[in-house]
A and B are shown apart, each in its own frame.
Chain A
């Protein structure tokens, strides 16, 4: 029998390996570096190298809060050097915001330790449970606003994302899932969804981020539809800290 559970391996030192994927702004000509999203991979050689499997497992174990904290702490500790205007996105489950009453204080301390002004942080809310109507979630959103961080809603268009969450959170950014974006150049329905989300975001004083941009054709299309921030393998894969540092210095030199 295996002596330690997979969760033990995740929580052990080095169990979570941070990766940093750039987001690019499309304003003022060529794409330029806007932010790094902090991503996490589990131990090498395990199923948890694959992020969707890692986080599905964590949710099934009901350990979102503990693992969210660990992922953020690890990512911010190993944050690569980057231009001072570059923002940093950290992922947080909606359930963590709802249930972990100490999370905002933790985030504040982690930011401070990393030397990041709160205005540079974007808290990317991962929506996986059907609803977060409780007081805890609303209070956490208010405290995030008071802290001065921006809020993004992740996974727009799939899973548990919904309009009520948009109303409750009033997100600064709406990250449209790659399954909507990918292949949009050849699919009128996908283009219609993206166009409507851009219009909706504009009415809600939010900004659409197109995830999963993997081809030049899709990039041209999302730009023509009014998307101003993009992310995807066409522009950059998730990078280890050292490579992300090279990427950001190249971007700022360009």
Chain B
């Protein structure tokens, strides 16, 4: 297993959930994180993500803030769902529309990192791996 920096990783495989309504983004992130040696699941909508969260334990969830049309903030619900289940799981929210108020609320709900789109995959991976490996 390789880390983002290319070094070997011998720790147990972490399980990641990626949630985004953009199919191409999901595919790209799945491929990238699977290539780093993580077990990756993905979901396109809130209820699909919640069904996965109800059946599997994830070490990291990367979710888009908006999963439906204009004004959606489903990502906040995902942060709450993760935090209610696991205190030490990590959550990253991605958003192209995040206001300071929403960002603040995401942290209040237990989000670990709020990233503003667009972000290069390497940048997202750097934050993700850092959260997983170093807490």
Among B51-59, B89-97, B109-117, B118-126, the stretch that binds chain A is: B51-59
Compute how far the CA of A6 lies from the CA of B49 in the bound complex, rounded to whole angstroms: 11
Give every chain B residue within 8 A of A52 (Cβ-Cβ): 54-55
Would you call B55 and A1 a contact (CB within 8 A)? Answer: no
For the residues of B in contact with A, the DSSP-based class is mixed
The residues in A between 57 and 111 inclusive whose CB is less than 8 angstroms from any CB of B are: 57, 60-61
Instruction: Given A2-B44, A47-B41, A47-B43, decide whether A57 and B21 contact each other with a Cβ distance below 8 A.
Output: no
Query: B74 interface residue, CB < 8 Å from A?
Result: no
Partner of A2, one of B21, B50, B54, B55: B21
Compute how far the CA of A53 lies from the CA of B52 in the bound complex, rounded to whole angstroms: 6
Instruction: Given A1-B21, A60-B50, decide whether A6 and B44 contact each other with a Cβ distance below 8 A.
Output: yes
Give every chain B residue within 8 A of A53 (Cβ-Cβ): 48, 51-52, 55
Q: How large is the interface on B (under 10, 10 to 19, 20 to 34, 35 or more residues)?
A: 10 to 19
Report the minimum CB–CB distance from B68 to chain A (whole Å). Answer: 9
Would you call B55 and A6 a contact (CB within 8 A)? Answer: no
Give every chain A residue within 8 A of B21 (Cβ-Cβ): 1-2
Count A-side interface residues using an 8 Å CB cutoff: 13
Compute how far the CA of A56 lies from the CA of B48 in the bound complex, rounded to whole angstroms: 8
The residues in A between 164 and 186 inclusive whose CB is less than 8 angstroms from any CB of B are: none
Report the minimum CB–CB distance from B25 to chain A (whole Å). Answer: 10
Give every chain B residue within 8 A of A145 (Cβ-Cβ): none
Query: How many pairs of A and B residues are in contact by the CB < 8 Å rule?
Result: 39
Partner of B54, one of A5, A6, A56: A56
Would you call A57 and B23 a contact (CB within 8 A)? Answer: no
Partner of B47, one of A1, A2, A50, A61: A61
Would you call A57 and B44 a contact (CB within 8 A)? Answer: no
Would you call B48 and A6 a contact (CB within 8 A)? Answer: yes
Give every chain A residue within 8 A of B22 (Cβ-Cβ): 1-2
The residues in A between 11 and 57 inclusive whose CB is less than 8 angstroms from any CB of B are: 47, 50, 52-54, 56-57
Would you call A60 and B23 a contact (CB within 8 A)? Answer: no
Give every chain A residue within 8 A of B45 (Cβ-Cβ): 2, 5-6
Partner of A60, one of B41, B42, B44, B51: B51
Would you call A2 and B23 a contact (CB within 8 A)? Answer: yes
Compute how far the CA of A252 lies from the CA of B21 in the bound complex, rounded to whole angstroms: 50
Give every chain A residue within 8 A of B42 (Cβ-Cβ): 47
Nearest first, the 4 closest Cβ-Cβ pairs linking A and B are A56-B51, A57-B51, A60-B47, A53-B51
Interface residues of B (CB under 8 A from A): 21-23, 41-45, 47-48, 50-52, 54-55
**A-B contacts besides A6-B45, A47-B43, A52-B55, 15 pairs, CB < 8 Å:** A1-B21, A1-B22, A2-B21, A5-B44, A6-B44, A47-B42, A47-B52, A52-B54, A53-B51, A53-B52, A53-B55, A56-B50, A56-B54, A60-B47, A60-B50
